[in-house]
C-alpha cells in the first residue's frame, strides 16, 4: 500500500469512541500505516471535526454518549459526502451493521476488535480510496484537457466517447480512432495522448496519405547512409522520434500494402529497422491510428491486411457524425461564433433565425470542420453582428432553396424507431411549407397540438421553424 498523503485530508482517520483507552489502542494499532489519526470522544466533538476538517475515514463507535451512532452516520454523510465511515459495534448486532451498510457506511467491525481484521479493512479502504481518487482525477483531467485541446461535446454520443477514452487512456498501447471526415479524430488523438501516462513525451504525427509509397517507409522508420540513392545521411524516422511518447498514424488506411507487414511488426513487438540497417531496434511508443475509411471492407477487398486490422480494431474509439449529435451543434456554433467574433472584431456574433434554421437542417457532411470553416466565412462576410442565410458559403445557403433532404431512417447506431421517423417526416413537411404550422398540420391531417407533441419528442434543440418565410431576425 502506498497511500499518498498531502492531498487534503484524504489519508486522515478520525476515531470516534467514548472510551479514550479505545482511541489510544486504535492509534497504536494503526501507527504502522501511512495515515494520520485523530480522536473524538463525543458525537458533538466528532461533528465539529467533520465540519472544520473532514477526514477521509471515520471509525465510528455505534454507541456514543450524546447521540445514536446511526444518526451520527447520517449527519457525517450529509456534512461531508467524501468521508467514509467504518462502524464499530460493541456487541454483535447484525441488524445495525446491515442498516449501517444500507445507510452508506463503508464497512463495519465488531468489538472486541481483531487487530488483523482492522488493519485489513483500513488497507482495503486506502486502496479503494486511491482507485476512486485516481478515477476522479482522470475525469477532471479529461474535462480540462478536452476543453483546452478543443474537443467539445455534451451529447450522449460524445459522453460515451469521453467515458470510453477515460477507461482506455491509462492502459492502451494501440488505439484506433474512426469517424467521418472532420469529426475530430486528430483532436481526440491529442487528448488521448494528454491523458495517457506518456503525456510528457512527444506526439509525432505521420500523415500516411500525404507520402508517396517510396518515401513512406523511410519517413516512418528512417534509413542509414547509402541505403538507397539519395540517402546521403543517416536519418531517424518518426517512430524513433516518438520514442517515449505517442506516434499518431493518420489516414492509416492509406498505408501501402508493401509497408503493412512492417507496421504489424511495430505494433506487435514495438520493433523496427531503419532502411539498410539489419539491426532491429526497439521503441517504447503508444500508437494511435485514425481513419475515415471502413477498414473491415478494405480487408474484404484485400486492400488492408487482416492481421493488421485485428491488431488495430481491438481498441476502437468511434466519433459520431455531427448530425447525430444535435446537442453539440448548439454548443459548437456558440464556441465558433465567440472565437470568430473576437477574431474579426464582431463581438456578440449571432445567427439570425433563418440562419439558425438552416444550420439545423443542413446535414453537415464535412462535420465539425465544415461547420467551423463555414462559420469562419460567415463571420467574415456578415455586415453587422447578425449572420444571415446569405452570409453562408453558397453550397450551404443554396441548400435552403433546394429545400428537402432525403429523410434518413438510420443512424450510425442502426435503424431509428418509428416515433423518430414520424418526427423526421413531420419536420420535413414543416420545412417544405416554410414552417407554416397550420399548413403542415393540414397536409399531415393532424391537429396543431399533435404536431407540437411530435416535434417536441426529442431533446434536439429546435430552432424557430417558420422563419424561412419571414424576414430574418437575430436569434
Ligand atoms: N468536438 C470538437 N470540438 C471543437 N472543435 C472540434 C471538435 N471536433 C473537431 N473540431 C475541429 O474540427 C476540425 C477538424 O478536426 P480534426 O482534424 O480532428 O478532424 P478529423 O476527424 O481528423 O478529420 P479528417 O478525417 O478530415 O482528417 C479541427 O479544426 C478541430 O479543431
Ligand atoms: Mg484528420
DSSP string, 415-469: EPPHHHHHHHHHHHHHHHTTT-HHHHHHHHTS-HHHHHHHHTTS------TTTTT
CA distances from 79 to 54, 69, 156 (A): 9, 15, 32
Query: Which residue has 439558425 as its cell numbers?
Result: 356
CA 156 – CA 427 distance, rounded (Å) = 22
Per-residue pLDDT band at 407 (split at 50, 70, 90)? low
Which of 317, 318, 369, 374 to mutate to test ligand 1, by most ligand atoms within 8 A of the CB atom? 369
pLDDT for the residue 378: 96
Which has more pLDDT, 234 or 472? 234
Domains of the chain: 12-132 (3.40.50.2300), 150-318 (3.40.50.300), 324-455 (1.10.8.60)
Which of 184, 289, 327, 372 to mutate to test ligand 1, by most ligand atoms within 8 A of the CB atom? 184
pLDDT for the residue 456: 75
Taking the centre of ligand 1 as the mean of its atom positions, its distance from the CA of residue 147, in whole angstroms, is 13
pLDDT for the residue 304: 94
CA 418 – CA 138 distance, rounded (Å) = 39
Which has more pLDDT, 244 or 423? 244
Q: Is the peptide bond before 432 cis (omega within 30 degrees of 0)?
A: no
pLDDT for the residue 6: 35
Mean pLDDT across 250-276? 93
3-class state of residue 408 by DSSP: coil
Query: Among all ligands shown, which has an atom nearest to the Cα of 180?
Result: 1
Per-residue pLDDT band at 114 (split at 50, 70, 90)? confident
Query: Which residue has 463571420 as its cell numbers?
Result: 379
Q: Which residues contact 431 (CB under 8 A, 6 or more apart)?
A: 361, 403, 404, 465, 468
Which has more pLDDT, 100 or 58? 58
Please give the sequence-ordered ranges of beta strands (E in DSSP) within 46-180, or none if there are none. 57-61, 84-89, 107-110, 174-178
Mean pLDDT across 93-119? 80
pLDDT for the residue 297: 92
CA 6 – CA 157 distance, rounded (Å) = 37
pLDDT for the residue 451: 84
Pick the closest to residue 157 from 174, 180, 130 (CA basis): 180
pLDDT for the residue 295: 94
Beta-bridge mates of residue 351: 387
Mean pLDDT across 144-163? 82
Write the pLDDT tens digit of every residue in 295-329: 999 999 999 999 999 999 989 999 999 998 888 89
Phi, psi of 35 (to 5 degrees): -135, 155
How is residue 474 annotated by DSSP? Answer: B
Strands 57-61, 271-272: pairing is unpaired
H or E stretch including 151? none
Given a cut of 70, is residue 408 above it in pLDDT?
no
For atom 26 of ligand 1, the residue with the nearest CA is: 181
Per-residue pLDDT band at 443 (split at 50, 70, 90)? confident
* Backbone Cα Rg of the chain: 31
Lowest mean pLDDT among 340-344, 369-373, 471-475: 471-475
C-alpha cell read off for 427: 419536420
Query: Which residue has 479505545 as its cell numbers?
Result: 22
Amino acid at each position: 500500500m502506498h497511500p499518498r498523503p498531502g492531498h487534503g485530508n484524504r489519508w486522515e482517520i478520525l476515531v470516534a469512541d467514548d472510551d479514550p483507552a479505545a482511541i489510544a489502542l486504535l492509534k497504536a494499532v494503526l501507527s504502522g500505516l501511512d495515515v494520520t489519526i485523530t480522536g473524538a470522544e463525543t458525537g458533538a466533538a466528532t461533528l465539529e471535526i467533520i465540519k472544520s476538517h473532514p477526514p477521509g475515514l471515520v471509525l465510528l463507535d455505534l454507541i456514543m454518549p450524546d447521540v445514536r451512532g446511526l444518526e451520527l452516520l447520517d449527519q457525517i454523510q450529509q456534512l461531508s459526502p467524501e468521508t467514509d465511515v467504518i462502524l464499530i459495534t460493541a456487541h454483535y448486532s447484525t441488524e445495525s451493521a446491515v442498516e449501517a451498510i444500507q445507510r452508506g457506511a463503508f464497512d463495519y467491525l465488531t468489538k472486541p476488535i481483531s487487530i488483523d481484521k482492522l488493519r485489513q479493512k483500513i488497507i482495503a479502504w486506502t486502496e479503494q480510496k486511491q482507485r476512486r481518487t485516481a478515477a476522479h482525477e482522470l475525469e477532471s483531467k479529461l474535462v480540462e484537457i478536452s476543453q483546452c485541446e478543443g474537443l467539445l461535446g455534451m451529447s450522449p454520443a460524445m459522453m460515451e466517447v469521453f467515458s470510453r477514452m477515460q477507461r482506455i487512456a491509462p492502459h492502451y498501447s494501440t488505439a484506433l480512432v474512426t469517424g467521418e471526415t472532420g469529426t475530430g479524430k486528430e483532436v481526440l488523438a491529442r487528448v488521448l495522448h494528454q491523458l495517457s501516462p506518456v503525456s510528457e513525451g512527444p506526439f509525432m504525427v505521420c500523415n500516411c496519405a500525404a507520402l508517396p509509397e517510396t518515401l513512406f517507409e523511410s519517413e516512418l522508420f528512417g534509413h542509414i547512409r547509402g541505403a538507397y540513392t539519395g540517402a546521403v545521411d543517416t536519418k531517424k524516422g518518426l517512430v524513433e522520434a516518438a520514442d517515449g511518447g505517442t506516434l499518431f498514424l493518420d489516414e492509416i488506411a492509406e498505408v501501402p500494402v508493401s509497408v503493412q507487414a512492417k507496421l504489424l511488426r511495430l505494433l506487435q513487438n514495438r520493433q523496427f529497422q531503419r532502411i539498410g540497417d539489419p539491426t532491429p531496434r526497439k521503441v517504447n511508443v503508444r500508437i494511435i491510428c485514425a481513419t475515415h475509411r471502413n477498414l473491415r471492407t478494405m480487408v474484404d477487398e484485400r486492400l488492408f491486411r487482416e492481421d493488421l486490422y485485428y491488431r488495430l480494431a481491438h481498441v476502437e474509439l468511434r466519433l459520431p457524425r455531427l448530425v447525430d449529435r444535435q446537442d453539440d451543434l448548439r454548443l459548437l456554433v456558440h464556441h465558433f461564433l465567440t472565437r470568430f467574433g473576437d477574431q474579426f472584431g464582431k463581438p456578440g456574433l449571432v445567427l439570425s433565425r433563418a440562419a439558425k434554421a438552416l444550420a439545423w437542417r443542413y446535414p453537415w457532411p464535412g462535420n465539425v470542420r465544415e461547420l467551423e470553416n463555414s462559420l469562419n466565412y460567415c463571420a467574415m462576410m456578415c455586415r453587422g453582428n447578425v449572420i444571415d442565410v446569405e452570409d453562408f458559403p453558397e453550397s450551404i445557403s443554396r441548400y435552403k432553396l433546394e429545400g428537402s433532404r432525403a429523410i434518413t431512417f438510420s443512424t450510425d447506431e442502426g435503424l431509428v424507431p418509428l416515433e423518430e421517423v414520424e418526427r423526421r417526416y413531420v419536420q420535413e413537411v414543416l420545412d417544405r411549407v416554410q414552417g407554416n404550422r397550420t399548413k403542415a398540420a393540414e397536409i399531415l391531417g393532424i391537429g396543431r397540438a399533435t404536431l407540437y407533441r411530435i416535434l417536441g419528442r426529442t431533446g434536439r434543440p429546435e430552432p424557430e421553424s417558420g422563419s424561412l418565410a419571414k424576414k430574418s431576425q437575430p436569434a
